[in-house]
Structure 1
Amino acid sequence: MRAERLSFARIGITKLTGGVVNLVVDTSVWSLILRRPQVQVDNPFVQAFRRHLTAEDGLFLIGNILQELLDGLRSGNQFQLLTKSMASFPLLVPNRTTYIEAARLRTVFRGKEIQAGSVDCLIAAVCIEQGFPLLTADRDFLRISQNSELVVLPPLKETR
């Protein structure tokens, strides 16, 4: 049984109306914030992340995303620091139905000749099941969203 989708997820644009917004932040966005020698504050994905963080929106992780972030570290100190820092972000845990939906999505995409890896399909399935949009800089998810119920959040428009 799928969770009821939130109204903003149907239209693909989060409209803040004073309520908390729940979303999943993908590895591609976390990497822009955590793995660069200097954070590019003018990057629209970094701006979107900071806006949601400042608004105290619900920023969620999926196990695969957490693992990808931790896999890229070179030292035990970095590993411990990031593990501790990420502990405050709730983890969405897939169940059997989620894995089946991820496999179904991948089968559908393969039939349409759309490139989509197993991990990306699992991330999409979790987001769809929870009714949470995905904040991502990964263009693969744009193709996935065009062929499924996945909602990807657009980055902030550049301000000049």
Structure 2
Amino acid sequence: MNVLVDTSVWSLALRRNSPHDAIDIVNLLRDLIADGKVVLLGAIRQEVLSGIRHQEQFARLRDYLRAFPDLELTTEDEEIDNIEPA
């Protein structure tokens, strides 16, 4: 099973000084990365990169994030959440 990691988790993990209460989340992300289970959406990749102000840091993070495959969404994927239970 792959895990789609949201922007908020990436933001916690990429901070120089992650809050103490985020350590478990950051460690879980490290484990998922080590196990090759992390996937991204293009929109999440864009959000993470949009917060980077220096070109050198941007290029380094962009290259790092390229290691994670993009989750391809279909129209059916986007529609499934709109189904009301009977």
Letter in 2 for 1:48: L
CA distance in 2, matches of 1:37, 1:45: 15
| Local SS of the residue matching 1:92 | coil
Q: Which residue of 1 aligns with 2:61?
A: 82
Gap regions ≥5 residues in structure 2: none
1:71 and 2:50 equivalent? yes
The normalised TM-score by structure 2 is 0.77
Structure whose residues are more often strand by fraction: 1
Q: Which residue of 2 aligns with 1:93?
A: 72
The normalised TM-score by structure 1 is 0.45
Please provide the CA RMSD for this pair: 2.2
CA distance in 2, matches of 1:53, 1:33: 12
Gap regions ≥5 residues in structure 1: 1-20, 109-160
Q: Which residue of 2 aligns with 1:51?
A: 31
The superposition leaves residues 64-114 of structure 1 with CA deviations (integer Å, 9 ceiling, x where unpaired) of: 111110111112222211110101000012122223335x26xx6xxxxxx
Deviation, 1:40, is 4.9
Deviation, 1:57, is 3.5
Q: Which residue of 2 aligns with 1:37?
A: 16
CA distance in 1, matches of 2:23, 2:5: 15
CA distance in 1, matches of 2:5, 2:16: 20
Aligned residues: 83
Matches within 5 A, 1:80-159: 80-102=59-81, 104=82
Structure whose residues are more often helix by fraction: 2
Identity in percent: 33
The superposition leaves residues 22-76 of structure 1 with CA deviations (integer Å, 9 ceiling, x where unpaired) of: 2111111111111x2224576211121122233x141110111111101111122
CA distance in 2, matches of 1:43, 1:74: 25
